[in-house]
Amino acid sequence: MQDRGAKRSRYAAKDLMENAAHRDNLMPNINELPPDMGHYAADQRAAHQFLDNPKIFEDPLALRIIGAEAESKLRLNLAQFQNLPERDVRALMVVRNRYAEDELA
């Protein structure tokens, strides 16, 4: 008879292997330039202005920061900001910005 702990371990190992491909996609390629996190944050803040209602953080500068070309690309590709990880990151960023603005006021 197989003990429950061994059975759980086998299933846990199987889950890790099945999720390895997904995890590998999250790892950065060391041969590429690092992402520009400032622009990424600005893109997320600008996407918040288009996608999220009610707005957590009104950001009149978001679109000016990313520029007209990036704004145009953003408007054409709003779907890329709608997947769960992007929505979670965007929520984190705008709540953090709102908190900072409220504390500084």
pLDDT at 31 (0 to 100): 65
Determine, yes or no, domain membership for 8.
no
Whole-number pLDDT of residue 95: 93
The pLDDT assigned to 37 comes to 77
Number of separate domains in the chain? 1
- 18 assigned to some structural domain: no
Q: Is residue 32 part of a domain?
A: no
Within a domain: 24:
no
What pLDDT, on a 0 to 100 scale, did the predictor assign at position 52?
92
> Residue 91 domain-assigned?
yes
Q: Are 44 and 81 in contact (CB under 8 A)?
A: yes
- Ranges of residues in the chain with a pLDDT under 50 are 21-23
User: Would 27 be classed as within a structural domain?
Assistant: no
Long-range contacts formed by 57-64: CB under 8 A, 24+ apart: 57/94, 57/95, 57/97, 57/98, 57/101, 59/94, 59/97
Host domain of residue 63:
37-104
Q: Is residue 22 part of a domain?
A: no
